[in-house]
Structure 1
Amino acid sequence: MRKMIHAAMIACLAAFGLTAASAQSAKPIEVIVFPGGFNWPIWVAQDKGYFEKNGVSVKVTPTPNSQFQLKNLIEGKFDIAMTAIDNVVAYSEGQGAAKTDVQPDIFAFMGGDNGFLRLVAVPDVKAISDLKGKQVSVDALTTGYAFVLRKLLENGGLKPGDFEFVSAGGVVQRYQALLKKEHAATLLISPFEVNAEAEGFNRLANADEALGRYQGLVGATRRSWAKENEKELIGYIRAYTAALDWLYDPANKAEAIAILRKNAPNLSETLAARSYDVLLHPSKGFTRGAVLDPEGVKTVLQLRSQYAEPKKELTDPGKYYDLSYYDKAKKN
């Protein structure tokens, strides 16, 4: 009888994509993210049990800025970072804003979005030309989306000497500083611009319209960790993409918004609905299936080749990603 009960338990666990060994695994995957609604797929995967169904658990930590995130990913304090692929490129090429105690060996294993990058300014700034002589805030001066912002300003007719870049931390810190009007403008990530516009701030440009295809958020990790934890990484990818599929199902809209508001309690019902329209736009929202866009990575490399120091000509996007784990995850 005892053997029969044990066999039934194993069968039950297997039905949820778990083995007894994985179900008893005590150590969660340490994931470090920027705070914001773009973590919606992770929140859904937690709420709907997709991580557990794929044999993994996660512990999510918000980062104050890209320097903290990348340094601690590279040095092994975190296993996975949901970050801009530009950060992966920067630290791989010795152009990162923070010094690391070990040689960076990081790569992107899946895509996420096109960055959802919006140039937003204080109410009295109506156009990019109005930013002449003013301060514009970024996360780090040499990584992340600083070069996207620089390109947007140049496209708007401003030369480097016409404005001052100020490092103000991650998107939450920049958003808060913008609302206090400490700087004239910054690059926000959706859905932060939804809140800002509701307060009377002005959106001056959308990066996807100015740059075309651009790879923004990716899942990144260390090659050594991926090799040693292949099953866990595959489970994470499967859970994340399952959450994306669930989010894009219109039948789940009301519950999806409820999950968003549970994790972003300051978001009103109206702004949450607008965030849904932005982040789950049929063609401009989260990348379906978390597919990585090599052409979008090329755009990242072009900007970094143009603006980054020390100067490097970067032409091989495949150097910064490995989709073999993603391909395994998508196989049944």
Structure 2
Amino acid sequence: MTGRTIGLVAAILGLAAVSAGAVAQDRPKVTLAMSGWTGFAPITLAQKTGIFERNGVDVEIVKMPTSNRHQAMASGDVQAITTTVDTHILYASSGVPVTQVLVLDTSSGGDGIAARGDISSVADLRDKSVAVQFGGVPQFWLAYLLKQEGLSLEDVKLTNLQPKDAANAFVAGQFDAAVTYEPYLSTVRDSGAGTVIVTSAETPGVIVDTLAFQPDYIEQNPEVVEAMVKSWFEALDYIEANRDEAFAIMGADVNQTAEQFAESAANVSWYGREANREYMTETLPAFLEEANEIMTEAKLVRRPADTSTMIDGSFVK
């Protein structure tokens, strides 16, 4: 190869690199706050496999406690949040408006309460010590379950621990019970430290996760929101076509093998296109009001949230 040819090749490669860099800079960047919950894993898959990039958006995933996500959104550190409907109500009630644009998943066994000794039901939790995350779905779900038994959060002794820490503390012999979710619920099951007395399979439709942005962001960046919604559906398509590979990628993000992740995923139902259209337009509005009422009664919020701007179903139609 002559010197001139080498120089030409180098110049072409240099231009290609500059072009690729320019394309990357042109993609809008979105920082998304979430956790290691199995239901969110397709988002990680969309990032790892380049689905977000192909749809023209650069997504950075930041994992942080539920209680910190709305503060990060209010400060502009994150633009998108994935969490449960009840948690979005908490955010809105505290003065951080959020609009849900996509249903991600429902827990169909992925959340549970583990207990030891003679505790065999939710009713038996009266006066018992319970590890549960405050300000998140574990506390909301516990309040929901207790209400069904004529009890309230004031009837149990609560300690604030993140779901992973609650599971580990329970396995270590602390607390009479712990509220947690997958993949940490499997840690409790495998340990033999206690018995799972109830799971979300017994409360269908109560623990539902959605993707949300602030209303102003959606108005100013509809193409970004559309790209993220499209990427979610494409990630589900990827799982359908490449199950083993997808499970390996998603499992690795939470230190699980593909087989372990498959066990966790069996307790979660991801929402595709048709399910989203139905839930966002028909089911979510009513459930939003019900959850708002439960949280107000349980004193999980100081005042009811204004739910009038909390749903935008246009991106899934």
* Fold match (TM-score > 0.5): yes
Residue of structure 2 in register with 1:277 after alignment: 266
Shift of 1:78: 0.4
Q: Are the structure 2 counterparts of residues 135 and 123 from structure 1 closer, same or farther at C-alpha, using a change threshold of 3 Å? A: closer
Residue of structure 1 in register with 2:291 after alignment: 300
**Letter paired with 2:26:** S
> 1:136 aligned to 2:115?
no
Shift of 1:204: 1.3
CA deviation profile, 1:283-310 (whole Å, cap 9, x unmatched): xx11223723414434422322432366
What is the SS of the residue equivalent to 1:112?
Answer: strand
Structure 2: give runs of 5+ residues left out of the alignment: 1-19
Q: Which has the larger radius of gyration?
A: 2
- 2:27 and 2:57 mapped to 1: Cα distance? 10
> 1:120 aligned to 2:113?
yes
- 1:32 and 1:47 mapped to 2: Cα distance? 16
Residue of structure 1 in register with 2:25 after alignment: 24
- 2:258 and 2:23 mapped to 1: Cα distance? 38
Residue of structure 1 in register with 2:62 after alignment: 61
- 2:74 and 2:160 mapped to 1: Cα distance? 22
Structure 1: give runs of 5+ residues left out of the alignment: 1-18, 95-102, 280-284, 328-332
- 2:144 and 2:262 mapped to 1: Cα distance? 31
Alignment of 1:38-77 (within 5 A): 38-63=39-64, 65-77=65-77
What is the SS of the residue equivalent to 1:114?
Answer: strand
Alignment of 1:84-103 (within 5 A): 84-94=84-94, 103=95
Residue of structure 2 in register with 1:152 after alignment: 145
**Letter paired with 1:164:** K
- 1:202 and 1:93 mapped to 2: Cα distance? 35
- Alignment partner of 1:261 out of 245, 251, 261: 251
- 1:243 and 1:310 mapped to 2: Cα distance? 34
- 1:163 and 1:264 mapped to 2: Cα distance? 31
Residue of structure 1 in register with 2:159 after alignment: 166
What is the SS of the residue equivalent to 2:233?
Answer: helix
Which stretch shifts more, 153-162 or 235-244? 153-162
CA deviation profile, 1:160-195 (whole Å, cap 9, x unmatched): 4541122213x2233333322332223222333223
- Give aligned pairs, total: 288
**Aligned residues: CA RMSD:** 2.9
Residue of structure 2 in register with 1:33 after alignment: 34
Residue of structure 1 in register with 2:169 after alignment: 177
Residue of structure 2 in register with 1:97 after alignment: none
- 2:37 and 2:301 mapped to 1: Cα distance? 31
Contact 2:167 2:187 in 1 (8 A): no
Give every structure 1 segment of 4 or more consecutive aligned residues whose post-TM-superposition deviation is greater than 4 Å. Answer: 19-23, 156-161, 309-314
- 1:189 and 1:35 mapped to 2: Cα distance? 10
- 1:227 and 1:172 mapped to 2: Cα distance? 36
Contact 1:120 1:203 in 2 (8 A): yes
CA deviation profile, 1:56-103 (whole Å, cap 9, x unmatched): 11111110x222111111221101011122122122223xxxxxxxx4
Q: Are the structure 2 counterparts of residues 26 and 300 from structure 1 closer, same or farther at C-alpha, using a change threshold of 3 Å? A: same
**Letter paired with 2:264:** S
- 2:160 and 2:171 mapped to 1: Cα distance? 16
Contact 1:214 1:299 in 2 (8 A): no
Alignment of 1:201-212 (within 5 A): 201-210=194-203, 212=204
Contact 2:122 2:146 in 1 (8 A): yes
Percent identity over paired residues: 19
